[in-house]
Amino acid sequence: MRIDLHVHSSASDGTDSPAALLGLAGQVGLDVVALTDHDTTAGWAEAIAAVPPGLTLVPGIEISARWWEGPGSPIGLHLLAYLPDPDEPELAAALAAVRRNRSTRAQRMVDLLRAGGIDVTWDEVLSDAAGAPVGRPHLAQALIRRGLVDTVSEAFAPQWLGQQFRLPKDDLEVFDALRLIRGAGGVPVFAHPLAHRRGRVVPDTVIAEMAAAGLAGLEADHPDHGPAERDHARRLATELGLFVTGSSDYHGSNKPTGIAVELTSPASYEQILDQATGSTPVASPVTPDRTG
Ligand code: AMP
Ligand code: FE
Ligand code: FE
Ligand code: ZN
């Protein structure tokens, strides 16, 4: 079984449409793929309609959250929510608020860029996002169009969106997010929990508190984790009674990572299926055999 539980479509900051993504997942021989766009379920319907034969789609979300205690600024973290009920009102309202915050923040980042003499416009960023929750990759595309950088990765350098023109996001408090995911029947997995190269990560004690608050798994195998981080995540998972997953975090041409470069074990996938009550995986309808 080949199982990739974390990919993005153009419904957030990936470049493949949900339908194209499902086609690609089938072509590369995946058995299971989870669509996990940032803070939205808007891509689910198109993905569900495009599941090719032999593939199972796990509808999911990657939720922007933060942990904040004591002095200093919050630490951002991402929670994957598998198979939640997309219409559960509390979760849906919280995600809508996160998307509004993303939009305000991105507009302020455009203002910052313009104040720095970089002539990008909010209109072009909005039209590039085409209804998706706006993220820095959309701003990166504007910088690429200006010829200021060549790639999205370059746009994440400190002198650009990595630091100089970066503003914090107003995300869900992590323990609220865990409660909302479980309340919607979803199964929460901590995405790239130890990816230091993305910024600060939460201490192990917080991961233990998250486990006590309903966290189900840790994404141990992720392109942003080195061998030490993968080992650490596995040890921590064993200690805390969590399962581990592996996923590509594919974003189309916005990132160099290919789909299916990291995989999840069938045993972990089974645990997700056992715990989920919000929605169900989608397999392509079997073509009726009329020939007898
Ligand atoms: P935002 O949610 O607006 O803060 O933007 C974060 C998103 O940018 C992540 O979900 C990734 O898709 C993308 N990203 C983060 N770091 C990089 C990087 N170094 N190169 C390319 N994309 C990145
Ligand atoms: Fe992303
Ligand atoms: Fe993430
Ligand atoms: Zn992701």
Q: Give the position, in ligand 1's atom list, of the atom nearest the Cα of 153.
A: 20
Q: Which residues line ligand 1 (CB under 6 A)?
A: 13, 38, 135-137, 152-153, 156, 169, 251, 254-255
Among the bound ligands, the one closest to the CA of 248: 4
pLDDT at 242 over 90: yes
Pairing type for strands 56-67 and 32-38 reads parallel
- By most ligand atoms within 8 Å of CB, the mutation choice from 6, 9, 12, 13 for ligand 1 is 13
pLDDT at 213 over 60: yes
Q: 9-26 burial, b if ≥16 CB within 10 A, otherwise e?
A: bbbbbbbbbbbbbbbbbb
Q: What percent of the chain has pLDDT over 70?
A: 98
Q: Quote the mean pLDDT of the chain.
A: 96
Mean pLDDT along residues 223-236: 98
DSSP string covering the chain, please? --EEEEE--TTTT-SS-HHHHHHHHHHTT-SEEEEEEET--TTHHHHHHTPPTT-EEEEEEEEEEEE--SSSPPEEEEEEEES--TT-HHHHHHHHHHHHHHHHHHHHHHHHHHHTT----HHHHHHHHTTSPP-HHHHHHHHHHTTS-SSHHHHTSTTTTTTTT------EEHHHHHHHHHHTT-EEEESSTT-GGGS----HHHHHHHHHTT--EEEEE-TT--HHHHHHHHHHHHHHT-EEEE---BBTBTSSPPTTSS---HHHHHHHHHH--S---EEPPPPP-TT-
Among the bound ligands, the one closest to the CA of 257: 1
Hey, CA dihedral for 43, 46, 52, 55, is it positive or negative? positive
* Cross-strand pairs, 245: 219
Query: Distance between alpha carbon 285 and the CA centroid of its chain, in Å?
Result: 27
DSSP string covering 150-176, please? SSHHHHTSTTTTTTTT------EEHHH
Cα(254) to centroid of ligand 3, in Å? Answer: 13
Pairwise pLDDT comparison (93 vs 170), residue with the higher score: 93
pLDDT at res. 69 = 83
Residue 292: pLDDT band (50, 70, 90) is: very low
pLDDT at res. 71 = 80
Q: How far apart are CA 292 and CA 290, in angstroms?
A: 5
Greatest Cα-to-Cα distance within the chain, rounded to the nearest angstrom = 70
Cα(254) to centroid of ligand 1, in Å? Answer: 9
Q: How far apart are CA 284 and CA 53, in angstroms?
A: 5
On whether the pTM is more than 0.85, the answer is: yes
Cα(23) to centroid of ligand 1, in Å? Answer: 24
Q: How far apart are CA 288 and CA 162, in angstroms?
A: 52
Question: How do residues 52-94 score in pLDDT, each as one tens digit?
Answer: 999 999 999 999 999 998 788 899 999 999 999 999 999 999 9
